[in-house]
């Protein structure tokens, strides 16, 4: 991409003030310092939707504890490919964040903390699965330090809050990875935007909502923007647009009218947490403990009991409980879903709905839960649970991707996908999993798709290797590199290996 000669045309417009736009903006400004960048955020502060600290679980997803990343195959062996992929992607994030710390942009203690990642199962069948999963994973250097135990004494040492008040003879087992982390993505996002907004030729516009995106005859993009504070309309023109609008990205993608965006729709799933108010319980637990999802439940509803460190304070949350709302953003409108329906996506959406009745049933059941019923799933983790120690809070809104599919009409997906046009002048990020943890990897994907020539240039290649030393190399197939890379990042970020 050439820096535009017309002063009124931006090189890059970033829509949305979440972790994704922040990461892309910082990457671009470091790679090409002369770029003219503007960021538009509809709320009056950045990082208040999914990237807000209490709107997500803050798990630095590495494939250590998420059992849905390691399904059992029909032959009884464990498929570890997704866990390896996520572990590699998180190592990329950690390298980039380490670079930012070394450059003095950020302080590790403000946003990342060492927190063991554990998986917990009940009963012989699941214990056999967990043992097999452990045996398969420890063969790879990225997981070699994973510990397994079904010994009550050991488990008591690891997770006293969970092990107290168990019935005699209850069978439990867990794995533990000390290399796990808790990340405050809100603080990280704010840090990234603080640096970005202080750079020359960067404008951060808060309370500015992008209402429309149209392609001009010369290939640039015309953005129609509402200044919500002054109740006025504005517009701008940009060579490249990134739609990092979280749940709203699917609606804005529709507005670009690019062929590649046709047939996409969104299915919103809201979340709720129980937040612990009892200090002695909070102090007794120090881990992110993931259980197994119920049959028929979506992958993002895996229950977990999580230590969080938010603004220097230790906290404890349990959840998420799924729910349904037609909003695409927590601060959105109930009309978001109905207004997203077009002649291109109505069939895929209806078809995905019909093929996912289990999910619909699950969501209805979750919405109908009484406070006492909600306690039942927490009881699996803390047998002697008291309702008055916990308070219900709303998490962020996730919008799952629905896309056209030749065979079934419409597919519901739980991952993330970057959609861009063939001219590579607009890209949108849809979906929310594994999410913020892998933001650096996902934004490198945007750069590879939309700045392909620049990404091959000597200048960008050498800068990329300065920021992410293992850029372009596989860690899962290079044990020595995996060990030295994890150790180096751990030393800078204050984590364990
Ligand atoms: C319940 C829950 C738990 C999660 N747990 C984890 C976890 O443990 N670990 C993890 O890595 N990830 C987790 N995630 C996912 C993670 O939070 C998201 O992937 C990530 O925050 C998405 O960042 P984003 O920048 O794309 O979107 P967001 O942070 O949602 O930001 C989008 C921004 O765009 C703005 N916007 C929208 N429309 C417009 C418009 N028209 N004009 C201007 N601005 C607009 C919004 O106001 C918002 O600020 C979780 C998500 C949820 C909901």
CB 9 less than 6 A from any atom of ligand 1:
no
CB 161 less than 6 A from any atom of ligand 1:
no
E strands present in 228-338: 232-243, 265-276, 288-290, 304-310, 313-323
DSSP state of 230: T
**Band (296; pLDDT cuts 50, 70, 90):** low
d(CA 134, CA 137): 5
How many angstroms separate the alpha carbon of residue 136 from the centre of ligand 1?
33
CB 63 less than 6 A from any atom of ligand 1:
no
Question: Is residue 194 within 8 Å of 200, Cβ to Cβ?
Answer: no
3-state SS class at 187: helix
Query: What is the atom index within ligand 1 of the atom nearest the CA of 22?
Result: 25
**Which pLDDT tens digit goes with each residue over 225-239?**
999 999 999 999 999
CB 436 less than 6 A from any atom of ligand 1:
yes
| Start-to-end CA span in the chain (Å) | 40
Q: Name the strand (E) or helix (H) holding 382.
A: none
pLDDT at residue 16 tops 90: yes
Peptide bond into 434 cis (omega under 30): yes
pLDDT at residue 410 tops 60: yes
How many angstroms separate the alpha carbon of residue 51 from the centre of ligand 1?
5
Residue 80, sorted as left (phi over 0), alpha (psi -120 to 50) or beta, turns out to be alpha
pLDDT at residue 358 tops 80: no
Other Cβ atoms closer than 10 A to 378? 20
How many angstroms separate the alpha carbon of residue 289 from the centre of ligand 1?
23
CB 51 less than 6 A from any atom of ligand 1:
yes
Whole-number pLDDT of residue 361: 73
CB 442 less than 6 A from any atom of ligand 1:
no
pLDDT at residue 6 tops 60: no
CA dihedral (9, 420, 59, 324) positive or negative: positive
**Band (269; pLDDT cuts 50, 70, 90):** confident
Question: Is residue 243 within 8 Å of 427, Cβ to Cβ?
Answer: yes
Nearest to 23 by CA among 202, 193, 250: 193
Q: Global pTM?
A: 0.94
Mean per-residue pLDDT for 317-338? Answer: 88
Whole-number pLDDT of residue 282: 97
d(CA 406, CA 348): 10
CA 303 to chain CA mean position, Å: 16
**Mean pLDDT across the chain:** 92
d(CA 264, CA 342): 10
pLDDT at residue 465 tops 50: yes
Mean per-residue pLDDT for 85-108? Answer: 97
Mean per-residue pLDDT for 399-422? Answer: 83
3-state SS class at 441: helix
**Band (299; pLDDT cuts 50, 70, 90):** low
**Band (5; pLDDT cuts 50, 70, 90):** very low
CA dihedral (467, 471, 474, 480) positive or negative: negative
Residue nearest to atom 33 of ligand 1 (CA): 16
pLDDT at residue 148 tops 50: yes
Phi first, then psi, for residue 35 (nearest 5°) are -60, 140
Out of 14, 68, 246, mutate this one to test ligand 1's pocket (max ligand atoms within 8 Å of CB): namely 246
pLDDT at residue 295 tops 70: no
In the structure encoding, which two tokens stand for residue 332, read together? 């959105």
Share of the chain above pLDDT 70, in %: 97
**Band (362; pLDDT cuts 50, 70, 90):** confident
**Band (429; pLDDT cuts 50, 70, 90):** very high
Mean per-residue pLDDT for 301-328? Answer: 90
- For the chain, the residue count is 497
Query: What is the atom index within ligand 1 of the atom nearest the CA of 331?
Result: 47
pLDDT at residue 1 tops 50: no
Query: What is the atom index within ligand 1 of the atom nearest the CA of 398?
Result: 53
In the structure encoding, which two tokens stand for residue 330, read together? 């927590």
CB 426 less than 6 A from any atom of ligand 1:
no
d(CA 64, CA 472): 23
Helix, strand, coil in percent for the chain, rounding step 5: 40, 25, 35
How many angstroms separate the alpha carbon of residue 257 from the centre of ligand 1?
23
Q: Name the strand (E) or helix (H) holding 88.
A: helix 81-102
**Band (3; pLDDT cuts 50, 70, 90):** very low
CB 40 less than 6 A from any atom of ligand 1:
yes
Domains delineated in the chain:
9-467 (3.50.50.60)
């Amino acid at each position: 991409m050439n820096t535009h000669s017309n002063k009124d045309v931006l090189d890059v417009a970033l829509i949305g003030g979440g972790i994704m736009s922040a990461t892309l903006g910082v990457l671009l400004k470091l790679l090409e310092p002369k770029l003219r960048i503007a960021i538009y955020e509809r709320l009056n502060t950045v990082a208040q939707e999914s990237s807000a600290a209490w709107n997500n679980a803050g798990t630095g997803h590495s494939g250590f504890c998420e059992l849905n990343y390691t399904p059992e195959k029909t032959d009884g062996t464990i498929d570890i490919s997704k866990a390896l992929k996520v572990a590699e992607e998180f190592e990329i994030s950690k390298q980039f964040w380490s670079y930012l710390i070394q450059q003095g942009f950020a302080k590790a203690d403000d946003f990342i903390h060492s927190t063991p990642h554990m998986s917990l199962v009940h009963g012989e069948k699941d214990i056999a699965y967990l043992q097999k999963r452990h045996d398969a994973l420890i063969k790879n250097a990225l997981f070699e330090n994973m510990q397994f135990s079904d010994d009550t004494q050991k488990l008591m040492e690891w997770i006293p809050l969970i092990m107290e008040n168990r019935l005699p003879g209850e069978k439990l087992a867990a794995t533990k990875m000390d290399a796990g982390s808790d990340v405050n993505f809100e603080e990280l996002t704010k840090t990234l935007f603080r640096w970005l907004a202080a750079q020359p030729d960067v404008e951060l516009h808060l309370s500015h909502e992008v209402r429309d995106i149209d392609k001009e005859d010369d290939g640039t993009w015309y953005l129609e923007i509402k200044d919500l504070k002054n109740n006025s309309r504005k517009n701008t023109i940009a060579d490249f647009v990134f739609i990092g609008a979280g749940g709203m990205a699917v609606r804005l993608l529709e507005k670009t009218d690019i062929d590649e965006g046709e047939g996409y729709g969104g299915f919103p799933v809201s979340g709720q947490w129980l937040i612990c108010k009892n200090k002695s319980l909070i102090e007794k637990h120090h881990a992110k403990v993931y259980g197994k999802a119920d049959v028929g439940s979506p992958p993002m509803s895996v229950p977990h009991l999580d230590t969080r460190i938010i603004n220097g304070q230790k906290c404890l949350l349990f959840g998420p409980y799924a729910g349904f709302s037609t909003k695409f953003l927590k601060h959105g409108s109930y009309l978001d879903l109905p207004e997203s329906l077009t002649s291109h996506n109505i069939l895929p959406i209806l078809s995905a709905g019909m093929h996912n009745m289990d999910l619909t049933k699950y969501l209805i059941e979750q919405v109908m839960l009484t406070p006492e019923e909600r306690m039942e799933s927490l009881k699996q983790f803390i047998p002697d649970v008291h309702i008055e120690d916990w308070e219900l809070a709303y998490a962020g809104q996730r919008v799952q991707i629905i896309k056209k599919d030749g065979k079934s009409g419409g597919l519901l997906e739980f991952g993330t996908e970057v959609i861009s046009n063939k001219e590579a002048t607009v890209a949108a990020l849809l979906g929310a999993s594994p999410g913020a943890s892998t933001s650096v990897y996902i934004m490198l994907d945007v750069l590879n798709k939309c700045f392909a020539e620049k990404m091959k240039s000597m200048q960008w290649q050498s800068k990329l290797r300065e920021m992410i030393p293992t850029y372009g190399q596989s860690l899962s197939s290079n044990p020595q590199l995996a060990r030295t890379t994890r150790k180096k990042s751990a030393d800078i970020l204050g984590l364990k290996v």
